[in-house]
Structure 1
Amino acid sequence: MAATSQRPWTSVPRPVCWLLAACLLLQLGWRLAQQHAPAQARPLPAAPPAGVARLASLGEPLAMSKAMLLYLQSFEDQAGVSLPWRELDYDRLAGWLETAQTLDPRSQYALVAAGEVYAGVADPQRARRMLDFVAASFAADPRRRWPAMAQAVLVAKHQLHDLPLALGYARMLRRLATGPQVPPWVREMEAFILEDMDQLDGARLVIGGLLASGQINDPHELAFLARRLDELARKKAQATP
């Protein structure tokens, strides 16, 4: 077998040598620049559609859902950068949460993240975007998702100080969260918010409706609501000139 002949470097044309040297210097310069350049945060990419994510999961949609939520959780801590939540694109964030929830509809993780983590941002518009996501998710499965909706009522009332928004969410709770596993106080939130808004007649109507509906059977809760009706009646009488 004949030995393979190798051409010496001196046989390489000089222009090619200069070109190789220039490429090497450019590569080294680019790496040094990357090391000394200030780190910049990457924007949150658009979420993959649920159908695409399901195909990519290779038959493990629950694992894919968890992986997507872990990706979101770690996205704020990028190499050399800590990205505040208020700088995230919340429409894209909602898309990631929705896809993760679609892959694992029984999990509460996406709803907890939306209502208790991302809605806590000091930006009312972004917080409302998360509450909208929670409300839409609740309407699709009230039996399992009422805890997240109750949290949304509290965020709207105490963080956003938006009583009309809290009232709308509480009304959804009363109308849709009717299963036996839902505690009475959840359906009573609407009446309490109406009272906060000085809509005493509305609060009395809600409590009277709850008493007449038969949804509440606990004697202590029934006695509590009866006392609330009496208190509202007294407040109404005192407010009437």
Structure 2
Amino acid sequence: MPARLPHPATWALLAMLAAQLLVWAWGRGMYANEEITPPPPPALSLKLAAMGDDQFLFRSLGLHLQNFGDTGGQVTPLADYDYQRLYGWFLALDGLDPLSDYVAVIAAQYYGLTPKNEDVRHVVAYLRAHAAKDYASNWRWLAHAVYLARHRMKDNVLALEVARELAGLPIPDLPPWTRAMPAYAMADLGEREAAIALLVAIMATDAKHLTPEEVVGMEKSIRKWQRLGEGGQP
């Protein structure tokens, strides 16, 4: 009698079990002293390990991501993490739940506090990638990326690039202040006349959509840049 081949479902079960063992092996590295930031698992392995329940795996690994290096009584400085690997983890978890902002919050408001500028660059890159998945819902993360580039990294060229990406989005009812963001990066780069012209244009075309506080802030910035252009003090 010929040997019976395993049922296809058996092979599928074995494949999922192997994937879970693979993720478990990666998970062991999360707690190893010698490796604070384990390498991110491939997207296919995550899908197999989820066994159809992406949300459970997303939440479980999200909690691990939030606590990398801070388990077993350890406290790890943000400067000690491998941000190239963190970037991979951010994208991998987004693949499990592309609608959630949980990973974006962790990236921007926790890992984005690292004192190393080049590490912040990975966070900015991720926030741009996350926003691009659905600009209509995620455009605010571009604004946060501008903040990180301009105020944390002091990289005004990158800040202007991201600000222009945000300002150019074809989204109805996008707040007027998003269109104004490039002006502040331009002023930081010494392009004060262009910055003034942009704010003046926004105030002329979107006045009814601006709050009184926004108008006062723009007018104050214009006066400051005009004084600087005349060689005066800010």
TM-score by length of 2: 0.71
Task: State the alpha-carbon separation in 1 of the partners of residues 207 and 57 from structure 2.
Answer: 40
Q: Are the equivalent residues in 2 in contact too, given 1:146–1:177 (CA < 8 A)? A: no
Q: Which moved more, 1:158-167 or 1:77-86?
A: 77-86
Partner of 2:198: 206
Gaps of 5+ in 1: 1-38
Tell whether 2:70 aligns with 1:73: no
Deviation at residue 42 of structure 1 after TM alignment: 3.0
Q: Are the equivalent residues in 2 in contact too, given 1:69–1:110 (CA < 8 A)? A: yes
2:183 to 186, 191, 194: 191
Tell whether 2:131 aligns with 1:138: yes
Deviation at residue 95 of structure 1 after TM alignment: 0.9
1:160 to 123, 129, 153: 153
Task: State the alpha-carbon separation in 1 of the partners of residues 229 and 149 from structure 2.
Answer: 30
2:209 to 196, 209, 218: 218
For this pair of structures, how many residues does the alignment match? 200
Gaps of 5+ in 2: 1-31
User: CA 1:210 to 1:141, structure 2 compared with 1: closer, same or farther past 3 Å?
Assistant: farther
> Equivalent residues in 2 for 1:1-241 (5 A)?
40-176=33-169, 178-180=171-173, 182-207=174-199, 210=202, 217-218=208-209, 220=211, 227=219, 231=223, 235=227, 238=230
Partner of 1:32: none
- CA RMSD of superposed structures (Å): 3.1
Which of structures 1 and 2 has the bigger CA Rg?
1
Structure 1 SS opposite 2:139: helix
Amino acid at match of 1:152: A
TM superposition outliers: structure 1 runs of 4+ over 6 Å:
none
TM-score by length of 1: 0.69
Deviation at residue 113 of structure 1 after TM alignment: 1.3
Give CA deviations for 1:201-230 in whole Å, capped at 9, x if unaligned.
Answer: 321443355468x67751647966985797
Give CA deviations for 1:155-186 in whole Å, capped at 9, x if unaligned.
Answer: 22222222222111111110126332x32212
Structure 2 SS opposite 1:81: coil
User: CA 1:224 to 1:77, structure 2 compared with 1: closer, same or farther past 3 Å?
Assistant: closer
